[in-house]
Amino acid sequence: MNVFEKARKFMYRSARPIELARWQYHFENGSKENVLTALAAFQNEDGGFGHGLEADSMNPHSSPITTWNACMILREIDWQEKSHPIVQGILRYLGSGKDFSEEHQQWMNTIPSNNDYPHAIWWGFKDESDYKYNPTAMLAGFILKFCEQGTVLYEKGVRIAKEAVAWFMEKVPQVDRHETVCFVTLYEYLKETEPDIVDMEALALALKTQVNANITRDTEKWQTEYVDKPSAFFIVPGSMFYEENKEIAAFECEFIQQTQLADGSFRVNWQWWNEYKEFEASKWVWKGVITLENMRYIKAFE
């Protein structure tokens, strides 16, 4: 049985409906609508997302980070329809001011109610100053993509995008992986919507510098540590990051095939670093996510 077939069996045995719908979309001619049906189960009345879609935080309430996760799934399936209820719900949440600081012009990275539910230590809320461009930069791009031009929310998205890019250009090459992914996605949204509001050439060069700095070149650490591999930035043929990283990207394809477990899944190389026993359930969700993402990565090189 080959790597793909082993992964497929694991997905059908153990994955959540949302990961299985994504699997079917990528590999079995599944529909985008089926992905949206599964995704809608995680959306709240306020339009935001919760309920453990981000598997390291089991908070059922809407949060910017979990809403970011939903936005990334919409981008993964190349969803374009602005009028869809899921999209409109997200815009309603982002426009409500909930979990957003007017002072910082950022959405919160963690929210207080996270502490009421099982979560990884990094999603624990500590104080009111916990604002980052993860996920703000990407959420600004989502607004530019799906919100009607000329609205208050659209202008807010433009303003945040400009401020975010200015911040990023000053911080390179010291931006962490998660924020970098948000800026890569913002760059892609800007190309599609408002490329003239920032210096796109300079931003592309800065992103290349940052991504190259983020990738863990010591591949011995890949097996047992939470590291930044090329797949974290989906560095595949056609990516603007590919030429400078094509050897290590090809190595990752081999690494994926060599490290698949007997059941078709892959190791989860992190812990929650607290006493919550629910991590074991979270780990099985992540196995589905990682298996899906690894097979997507291999497929991109075929």
How far is residue 236 from each of residues 11, 294, 298, measured CA to CA in Å? 23, 12, 9
Token pair 């079917």 is found at 24
Average of per-residue pLDDT across 62-79: 98
Whole-number pLDDT of residue 187 = 98
Between 83 and 126, the higher pLDDT residue: 83
Average of per-residue pLDDT across 88-96: 98
Nearest to 143 by CA among 96, 199, 201, 198: 96
pLDDT at residue 11 tops 80: yes
Tell me the H-state helices in the chain. Answer: 3-14, 17-27, 32-40, 64-76, 85-95, 133-146, 152-171, 177-192, 200-214, 246-259, 279-300
Amino acid (1-letter code) at residue 9:
K
Whole-number pLDDT of residue 132 = 85
Whole-number pLDDT of residue 129 = 64
CA distance 144 to 155: 9
Amino acid (1-letter code) at residue 146:
F
For the chain, give the number of residues: 302
- 112 cis-preceded (ω within 30 degrees of 0): no
> Parallel, antiparallel, or unpaired for β 106-107 and 100-101?
antiparallel
pLDDT at residue 95 tops 70: yes
Q: What is the pLDDT of residues 246-285, one digit of tens each?
A: 999 999 999 999 999 999 999 999 999 999 999 999 999 9
Nearest to 259 by CA among 233, 225, 215, 285: 225
Whole-number pLDDT of residue 285 = 98
Whole-number pLDDT of residue 302 = 87
pLDDT at residue 42 tops 80: yes
Whole-number pLDDT of residue 1 = 75
What is the average pLDDT score of the chain?
A: 97
- CATH numbers and ranges of domains, the chain: 3-300 (1.50.10)
Model pTM above 0.95:
yes
How far is residue 131 from each of residues 18, 23, 123, 177, 214, measured CA to CA in Å? 28, 33, 12, 16, 21
> What percentage of residues in the chain have a pLDDT greater than 70?
99
Whole-number pLDDT of residue 130 = 67
Nearest to 208 by CA among 178, 183, 237, 228: 183
| DSSP three-state, residue 101 | strand
Q: What is the pLDDT of residues 120-166, one digit of tens each?
A: 999 999 987 667 899 999 999 999 999 999 999 999 999 999 999 99
CA distance 18 to 14: 12
Whole-number pLDDT of residue 179 = 97
